[in-house]
Every structure is written in structure tokens, then in C-alpha cells.
Homo-oligomer: A and B are copies of this chain.
Amino acid sequence: MTLKKTRKENYPEWYQCVVSEADMAENSSSPGCMVIKPWGYGIWERIRDVFDAQIKSTDHENCYFPMFIPLSFFQKEAEHVDGFAKEMAVVTHSRLSMQDGKLTPDSKLDEPLIVRPTSEAIIADSFSKWVKSYRDLPILVNQWANVVRWEMRPRLFLRTREFLWQEGHTAHSTSKEAEEETSRMLEAYRDLCENTLAMPVLTGRKPEHEKFPGAVDTYCVEAMMQDGKALQAGTSHFLGQNFAKSANISFVNKQNQQEFAYTTSWGVSTRLIGGVIMTHADDEGMVVPPKIAPYQIVIVPVIKNSADEDAVMEYINQIRQSLSCKTAFGEKIRIKLDKRDKPSVDKFWEWTRKGAPIILEIGKRDADSNNVMLKTRIKLGTPEGKQILSLSEFEAGISQKIENIQQEMLNKAKNRLLGNIKTDITTPEAFREYFAQSNEWIEDNQQGKVAFVRGKWCNDPASEEILKSMKITIRCIPFDQSGTNGICLLTGKPATMDVIYARCY
């Protein structure tokens, strides 16, 4: 029972099918905005909880800053950019009233307000009030919030006008400390992607033209989707003194001199869920890594005739009892008993589409024989996908089984990433030939037609036009560099560095 579209048939349509059949999110009547439904939001809650603990364990504190930013906060930035124009939601009125039978915006604001696309400006303004001396530094804060960017071609999770994210903002007394913070959080993102989402990433620095406006350096984690395209999964910015200067975050340093602070910012968003889908989902639907699955085990009662109901439910209670003190990854196993009034086969497919890691189907025969029918989502359709275990075997092995699923998912994604970075392209001709092909689904443990190229670049502005015309991007400049030998794969000029080239989301 594959989805309406498979990955091979039509990758973008397959993606929409997964989101919709897993009931994770949907388009809403509010243009370009999504409704995140319980299964999708449950995954986000898990990601949030894991990363929130990580943020707090590194001494960051959560805060909340206003989502409305006065227009004047953007004026300075705009003056420095030729033809500044940004897609942002602008609040211009503060009342709605009836005029000639028509509801109309009323009470025009003196100064329009922007709904935050990101909060550097408004947070720097607060920092400037909080910081007086080096003793007030560092400031390490984070917020979980909604942000708005007026996307013209919205796609669920990947690009919607409103989305949820966390944004960390810090201020330090030295450049070195701020740079260390930027690297620390980049590493935290790498760890989150790899060890929680089972989504391996490359890390590196963005080239000049891909940097966050106002950043001295932007670092990123880049994942490879199943069609070989890149997804930017998170960014960590070293902002130097740029925002400190424009917002006047200045302090008296240990030498009793006035100095501007050094700031950073870093964020990941609900986009990660899009990345998880395109890393793990298959032609049957979603596959959720156990660490972020709202439920790791779903129990589906199979009651063929109502006389069996009591016995089956009693046995299921026994199974739940046996699971009650079991853990996976050091936390209680999350279990759902699906008692809805629906055929069990429908429930099985629903939870398969949602990608619950393990489904237990428990009927009268299992109750009589003290067995457990265990189905493993990542092995769906294979002989190991369906096991009959004695209750004691089940009990003894379940924690390890859940942890193994996470590991197997990571391994599979790692093989895809590592096996699809082409490193032997050395001329613009070969490069052009490679990217003349279009992206398509990469089968497990196979090499796809097109994915990432690790190759040379000249760092010349002229290369940007070539990138645009080829519809490819430089994802990052890896930290490990092989030197300045060779020629740029875009311009043919002498190269200055290695970069990762790819098409992207």
C-alpha cells in the first residue's frame, strides 16, 4: 500500500503525500501559513525539549521579546543596501471598524510595526539597556517563538510564512568568547541533527554572498535529502560588533575603557521536521526516529469478536505494565494504546503512515499464548519487520530494540550522505556536465545521479552569476581545507578553497 506518489515517481509530490497522510500539518485558510497538527507538533515538542535541555545545560536562559519591531529599527540597515526591499508582514493599523457596512482597518499607527522575521534588532536594543560593565557579560539568552517571512512559494515545514523556531542571542566582552559561542552552538546543532534527528550533516562556513546580513561569519549545518539536494538545517552567526554598534551595546571593560560588545545569534526551526521527513520517510509514509517520536510504541488491539475483548484488553494491560518501568535513551518509553472504534488494519496503516517506530498488534491468540506481535516500521515489508516474541523476550529486548532503530536510521542516512559527495570533479566542463542532470531519488546505499560536489572555488564575485544560472548553490566552506591548488569549478580561475556545491531546498 504505497503512497499515491513514490519518491521515484515524483519526489516533491511524494513529500506532500507524506505530510498529509501522516497527518502532520496542512495548509490553512490563512494564506501561506500552516496548521501544525498533533503528530507534527508532537515531533516539534520532542525536538524542542531535547534542545532546550541542551541550551540550558550550557547556561543559556529563556526569555521572551516582543514580536513587533518598530519600522525605524530597519532604517539604518536599509540605508546601507541598494534597492532594499524585504518581504515582511507590516502592521499599519490598530483597530478594525465598520465603515459603510465594510470591515476596515482603522486607527493608523504613527510608526508601522514589523512582525519579527528574526529578533537581532529588538534584542540588541534590550541588551544595550542591560549591559554597562564587563561584569554584566556574557548575556546568554534564547527564545522559542514564531517568526514571519513573506514567502511567495510556501511549502509545509520547509517554507511557510509563519514558522516556529528558537533563536539564541548572546553578548560577550571579547571577540574570542563570542566566536567560541558561535562554534559551540554550531556543534550543538550538529549533535542535535545527528544524535536526535538521525540526520547527519556537514558543517562549515557560508561564503560571503550567503551570510546573514550583518554577520561577520555565518556557520551552518547542511543535510542531504534523499534526492541529493541540500537542506540548511541550522545557522550560527558571529556578528562581531556590528549589531552592538548600531544598537549601542557598549560596556566598560576591565581596563576601564568603553568598548562595544561582541554578539552572536543562532537558530533552528520547524524546517527541521521537513528535513526529517526527506531524510527518513519512504514510499509507505513517514518514519520517525524514536528519539523524537511522540509515541515509540503504539499498541493496536485486534479484536475479531467481541467475546474476546476482555481477554485481549487484560493482556494488553499486562504488556503495558511490563513496559511501565522500561526506558530507551534514559527516558521512559512513550506508549500509545489506540482504543478507537476502527478496524485494526486501518489503525495499523494509520500508524505506519505516521511512522511510529514500533506497532504491537495484540489479539486473542497472543493473549492465549503470551506472545507479542511486533512490527518494526523501518523493516516494513521484510521478514524481520514482523516478529512474534514471547512476552519475556519482548520485555527483555524492547529498550535495546528502540535504541537500535535510532542507530540504524542514522547509519542509513550517513551512508547516503557520505556515499554521495563527489570529490573527483576538477574542471568546469565536468562540473557542468554533472549538474546538467536533474536530482532524483537516491536508493538506499546507492550512488545517485546528482548530489553534493566537494570541489574548488575561486571566491570571485563573478561566480555568483554562474551559480544562479546553473541553479546551484555553495552550501558551505568545510573547515578542513585541502589548499589552493587547482581551478575553480565555476570560473576556471585559480582556486582559493574547497566548497560544497549542491542544489538546495
Contact = CB atoms under 8 A, between A and B. Distances in A.
Interface of A: 26, 28-31, 33-38, 41-42, 44-45, 61-75, 78-79, 83-98, 101, 103, 105-107, 112-115, 122, 125-126, 129, 135, 141, 145-146, 150, 161-162, 164, 341-342
B96 A68 contact: no
A178 to B, nearest CB: 20
Given A71-B96, A122-B30, A37 B66 contact: no
Nearest to A25: B64
B61 A36 contact: no
Contact of A30 (B28, B41, B70, B85): B70
B88 A126 contact: no
A44 B83 CA distance: 42
Contact of A84 (B34, B98, B122): B98
A90 B93 contact: yes
A38 B66 contact: no
Contacts of A125: 28-29
Contacts of A63: 35-38, 41
B122 A112 contact: no
Given A29-B70, A38-B61, A92-B93, A106 B85 contact: yes
Please list the 9 inter-chain residue pairs (A to B) with the smallest Cβ-Cβ separation, ordered nearest first: A33-B66, A30-B66, A38-B61, A85-B97, A36-B64, A90-B93, A90-B105, A94-B150, A92-B92
A35 B114 CA distance: 17
Given A85-B97, A90-B91, A91-B90, A68 B341 contact: no
B341 A135 contact: yes
Contacts of A129: 26
Contacts of A162: 66-68
B87 A89 contact: no
Contact of A95 (B73, B86, B122): B86
A90 B85 contact: no
Given A35-B126, A38-B63, A69 B30 contact: yes
Contacts of A78: 96, 98, 103
A30 B113 contact: yes
A40 to B, nearest CB: 8
A113 B141 CA distance: 31
Contacts of A79: 98, 101
A69 B89 CA distance: 13
B91 A75 contact: no
A74 B103 CA distance: 8
B103 A71 contact: yes
A165 to B, nearest CB: 12
A89 B162 CA distance: 16
Contacts of A26: 126, 129
Given A29-B73, A45-B62, A85-B97, 10 more contacts: A30-B66, A36-B64, A75-B103, A78-B103, A79-B98, A79-B101, A86-B96, A87-B94, A87-B95, A95-B150
A101 B75 CA distance: 9
Given A42-B61, A93-B92, A94-B150, A122 B29 contact: yes
A164 B112 CA distance: 22
Contacts of A94: 87-90, 150
Contacts of A71: 96, 103, 105
Nearest to A135: B341
A378 to B, nearest CB: 25
Nearest to A45: B62
A139 to B, nearest CB: 10
Given A30-B122, A122-B30, A64 B35 contact: yes
A341 B136 CA distance: 10
B98 A115 contact: no
Nearest to A121: B29
Contacts of A38: 61-63, 141
A92 B105 contact: yes
A92 B89 CA distance: 8
A85 B103 CA distance: 9
